[in-house]
Amino acid sequence: MSFLSRVCFIVLLTAVSALPSVPGLAQSGDAKNGDKTPPGQSAEAAKEAQRRTDEFAEASRLVNGPAGNAECVWLGRRVVGLLWRDDMDTAFRHLDLYDRFGCPGPHIQAAFRCVVRQGNIDPKVPQSLNARVHACWLNPAIPPVASGAAPVAAPAPAQPAPAGAAKAPGTTGR
């Protein structure tokens, strides 16, 4: 190795070893500029996180089987909402994930049927679709709402059929 190549190697090695400290030099010493969240927003985020946790706990308590698992609840409710909004491509991609997690497909079908049977959703109330999807996820057997009546707010849990229960005439075992 020549003297010039050794010097270039040492300079390159020195430059590379100094790189990890460069991003630290680029930061400003003013910590206030990075924290521009409104004072009440962190409390709202905590409330939202607690609400979601409570919803998943409620679903695992009320829904029997894998449909009550948190991942099935989260993905399934998204699929039902996307189907209602006619976003079929995204709904089918979520449905593939739902199936991959071993979640039951018939629960999606029953929850969507429940949402549709409840009638139109007020577009002026942004959370009305989410509330209806959540209620129908917990109990897909909610009776249809008569026109002009308010939808059921607190659904009763669905009761599973006994193992030896007779099937209705004309149904198949599929």
Q: How far apart are CA 157 and CA 59, in angstroms?
A: 10
- Does residue 12 belong to any structural domain of this protein? no
**Residue 81, helix vs strand vs coil:** helix
What's the confidence (pLDDT) of residue 93?
94
Considering the domain boundaries, does residue 115 fall inside one?
A: yes
Using the CB atoms, write b or e for 138-152: b if 16+ within 10 Å. Answer: bbbebeeeeeeeebb
Q: What is the pLDDT of residue 97?
A: 93
Domain for residue 52, yes or no? yes
Would you state the pLDDT for residue 74?
93
Domain assignment present for residue 157? The answer is no
Q: What is the CB neighbour count within 10 angstroms for residue 71?
A: 15
- Domain span at residue 98 reads 45-138
Q: Residue 21: inside a domain, yes or no?
A: no
Residue-level pLDDT at 149: 47
pLDDT value, residue 124: 85
Give residues with Cβ within 8 angstroms of 67, minimum separation 6.
73, 76, 103, 104, 107, 137
Measured CA angle at 150 (ends 144, 153), to 5 deg: 85
Q: Residue 86 falls within a domain, yes or no?
A: yes
Record the pTM: 0.57
Task: pLDDT tens for the chain, 174 residues: list them.
Answer: 566 666 656 655 565 555 555 455 455 555 555 555 555 568 888 887 888 788 878 877 888 888 899 999 999 999 999 999 999 999 999 999 999 999 999 999 999 999 999 988 887 887 889 999 999 999 999 888 765 545 444 444 455 544 544 444 444 544
Query: Is 3 among the domain residues?
Result: no
Whether residue 2 is contained in a domain is answered as no
Q: How many domains does the chain have?
A: 1
Residue 58 is predicted with a pLDDT of 81
Instruction: Show Cβ contacts of residue 101 under 8 Å, excluding neighbours closer than 6 positions.
Output: 69, 71, 72, 75
